[in-house]
Structure 1
Amino acid sequence: MPLITGPPGSGKTAHVLQQFRAALAAKKQDVRLLVPTATMAHHLENQVAREGFVLRRGLIQTLNGFVDLQVPDFPKAPESVVYLLVEEAVARLNRAEFRRVADLPGFCARLARAILEFSAAGCDGDRLAGRIPDTPLAAAFLAVYQEVDRALDRRGLLLRAKRLECAAARIRANGLPDIAAIWLDGFHALPDPELAIVHALVCHVDLTLTLPDYEATAPLRKHLVEAGFTEERFAKKRPAPAMVLVKAARIERECEEIARRILKHASAGRPFREIGIIVRSHEPHVPLLRATLQRFSIPAHFYFDENAVEHPAIRFLTRAIDAMLGGWDHAATLAVLRLAPRFADSPALDRLDFAVREQIPNTGLGSLKALLP
């Protein structure tokens, strides 16, 4: 069982992809490449497809997606449900330590995030009870955590760590009849729940695992070697990157300079997909970058969640409903029509725009239809 280690840029992922390509070239469908994030899975799928390989969905997937297939009968507790259960637990227990802050906005959400972090590390309420330090808030937090655990059990829901443990037990007992080889790549740490999956997999499939050789991973690497993995260390291959500091007079100028440098790399033959932009925060950078990249005709995919209310289709539908509920006020209805695709390119809608403006204020759908050219 190979354990491939090395610094970033040492070729660990390239080595894994080479083996994965060889399996695809041999028409093997009993292989899986598991990665930590959906973004990485999507990127690798696109990369392999661009190289001419045909692969069915699921050959490259996240570890979470793989686990979902192993334990579909063990539903995962959504974060929103955990937040609600934490609120109920705090109110029901009414601990004196939390009484003054229990109703403050964000308190229960922060408490829920702490519980999810402990769970992700494989530390449920019972395990935490034997290890929690003697601090002023420890007993109150533990009581809420255990109450949430009991509430989840009553609803038949599991936190991520317990689902991983259930998946590991099922894999260890039943095996993976349709899978012969698995590669795990891109992971920087393996908490106990993920490690249980690894130990279950090695019982039934050929497993290859990659890890960075950071000092923080030394205990994990030692544990895996003792468990039977053979470490293969890759030396750094990627040359040291050139670092340039650009001082811009204002943020708009900074975005334009980024766009120009992207075009310079693209004109030299580098694909756009190999160029990335990292920002400190969504605001104010992302809206300006989005507009600037569009102006320079640079294709880009933004890995940020967008507010559904701001989506053009949602804005159009919600404002249309508001106009209807408001009795079809002509000014409001005209504002909705302006959101329609290609409004400015339609001579008929342009004439309607002038006709509506001439008789505003007015209401009613009938009188509005009478203005249609």
Structure 2
Amino acid sequence: MAKPSRKPSLPLLGEADTQLRSRPRRRRDPAQPNLPLDPMPARVEPCLALLKAKPPKGDDWVFEIKWDGYRLAVHIEPSGVRILTRGGHDWTARFPAILAEARRLPVSTAILDGEAVVLDAQGRSDFGMLQQSLGGRGGKRSSREAIFMAFDLLYFDGHDLTGTELSSRRHLLEGLVPAGGEDAIRLSEEIEADGDQLLSIACEHDLEGIIAKDRNSPYRSGRLGDWVKIKCIQSDGFVIVGYEKSTASFGGIGRLLLAARKGNELVYVGGVGTGFNERSAGELREQMDKLVTGQPAVDTGRKRNAVFIEPKLVAEIEYRAWTHDGKLRHSSYKGLREVQDNAAVYEITTN
């Protein structure tokens, strides 16, 4: 049933039943200053997610899928677009599709926070595929396959949004990058769901996990707990300290020897012998052979056919659990982390 049309409201009347009118505005004095705009920062240190075993509870938390790629910030200015890594390195030329799409966004100035990913046939982010599209660690290739999953807006049309609550930043982001797009810049959509149920669904679909964010929080740099990550499978960075040779394996690599940090030292945490293909193993072997040393960085115990290298390469390793003596269980190699990505090395906490 159609609603009846509203009658026009009556004008306000003065004491003599004459219509009250506002005074005409004076012409603006050209010497009067404009409203101040916030200076656009050259770089914003990213907000990082704190690892938790279970999703948080409560109405203040919203959820997203966890993407497995490279954290990037896309800076849009009248002078051009810059794409910066988590460590502040300029990788604009390495993501031409993201660059072209950023130039088309209807905004004069902005900083978008998100993740560069390559999706597999099932729509899941695959870190190994992203690495290969960039030419492997240390490679200089540009990735035309990579897309940018935008999940935050830090600066918008002359205004710094970092002090604004997440819900307001997301509202503006969704107006700039609409949901459901298939361009090189896409919205990482928020999911209204129970955290435990969403995590279960994510794990069933072989996703890496989920991210929970406090909808009322400002954007704070560092790992302060406003954002929380919950993983289906553990995945962390470990230092490669050597490898065991094998004539039957890709690249002649039987097993990588890995270390984690404990205070200011490195501690041996076992090895990984799966997850390689011919291409990734060949690229890895080439990197390791440049770092061969006669002095092992950590005590790995007795190893047959071991080659030790300087502890300069950080590998992303998936694993299910730890053994009672502090070694990785059911581990699998995912790829090498870039120096520019500020790769974090797993830290063993002392009780």
Query: Which structure features the higher share of helix residues?
Result: 1
**Normalised by the size of structure 2, how large is the TM-score?**
0.22
Higher strand proportion (structure 1 or 2) = 2
Give the TM-score of the pair, scaled to structure 1: 0.21
Greater relative contact order (Cα 8 A, min sep 6): structure 1 or 2? Answer: 1
